[in-house]
Amino acid sequence: MKDLSTSTSRKRVLSGIQPTGEVHLGNYLGALRQWVHMQDEYECFYVIVDQHAILGDGDPADLPTRTIDTAISLLSVGLDPEKCTIFVQSDVPEHLELQWLFNTVAPVGDLERMTQYKDKAAKYDSIPAGLLNYPVLQAADILIYRANAVPVGEDQRQHLEMTRDIARKWNARYGELFPEPDAIIPEVGRVIGLDGDAKMSKSLKNTIGILADEEETWSRIKGAVTDPKRIRREDPGRPEVCNVYSLHKLLSNPAIIPDIKEQCMTAQRGCVDCKRILFDSIIDVIAPIRKKAFYYQQHTDEVCDILKAGATRARSIAIDTLSEARDRMGLNWTSAL
């Protein structure tokens, strides 16, 4: 693996993904495709956040497999360990110690006002402390690498503001160390699911696995919601309200988009035929991804080596940051000798 430590002239970016196993089309369009582009422009750290994941109710026995499958997905979509650092959160324990140090400056009132905390807390009879502290661990994930920027969707903007606020409060008390990272706005906004109602999500079953075979892919697309007012084939369609058309704009060759729009508006092409074209476009995108994934599924030892090397690289930076933070907070008692 190439030594990435020489890439100091570029801005440093960190982003994380939950270890949910195989990623889906919404992950790819909303984030991962941008991650691939960013690795050529920034010094990128991509972390599989398994310590965040244990806050959920998933089976712990499945977590290692989901972690490896997520790593395979990341490598298959085009992340290159020669260009970026890919690692698993729990392999760098400094994240958790920095979270504790940040707990000394993170206001409880601000944490209680986080929108995601309020939404998720309502589902618990007894709220776990980890749910309240989730944004503090996110701040530690970012700031332990002194990242300059973070790609964020609309649902994470508030968490990034919390990270900036924690950096500001800690710096004011102990001296400048942590940058206040900027937001990198995704190239693609919220990707609506095939049901046309909500963000693409595995739990809602309204997406397509990035490694899905052709039969499953077509089955999902065939059931996708289109313009609800286009009842008959001869009814003119409204591309601006059709989610299939919105996916065409994200996935199909730009040269055919005007024709897709025109044929819909003039009822010269039915929704099923339009979905067939979208199916072909999706297959063109995911076929090379599936090919890479098959290779990594047969070479999981290589995947493990990539993750271990990434953790070694990440940890070398995290240790330096944490050591400096500990010194400034008076936790190096040997300095008194």
Tokens of 138: 């996110």
Tokens of 128: 């776990």
The single residue of 83, 202, 261, 292 carrying the catalytic annotation is 202
- Tell me, what DSSP letter sits at residue 85? E
The single residue of 120, 169, 261, 292 carrying the catalytic annotation is 120
Contact between 33 and 64 (Cβ < 8 Å): no
The single residue of 11, 83, 199, 261 carrying the catalytic annotation is 199
Listed in sequence order, the residues at least 6 apart from 243 whose beta carbon sits closer than 8 Å to its beta carbon are 192, 193, 194, 196, 224, 225, 226
Q: Verify whether residue 229 is a known catalytic residue.
A: no
Q: Verify whether residue 11 is a known catalytic residue.
A: no
- Tell me, what DSSP letter sits at residue 181? P
Backbone angles phi, psi at 14, to 5 degrees: -125, 140
Q: Verify whether residue 308 is a known catalytic residue.
A: no
Residue in the block written with tokens 């994934």: 293
Contact between 105 and 169 (Cβ < 8 Å): yes
Backbone angles phi, psi at 317, to 5 degrees: -80, -45
Helix axes 271-298, 63-77, angle to 10 degrees: 110
Active site residues: 120, 199, 202
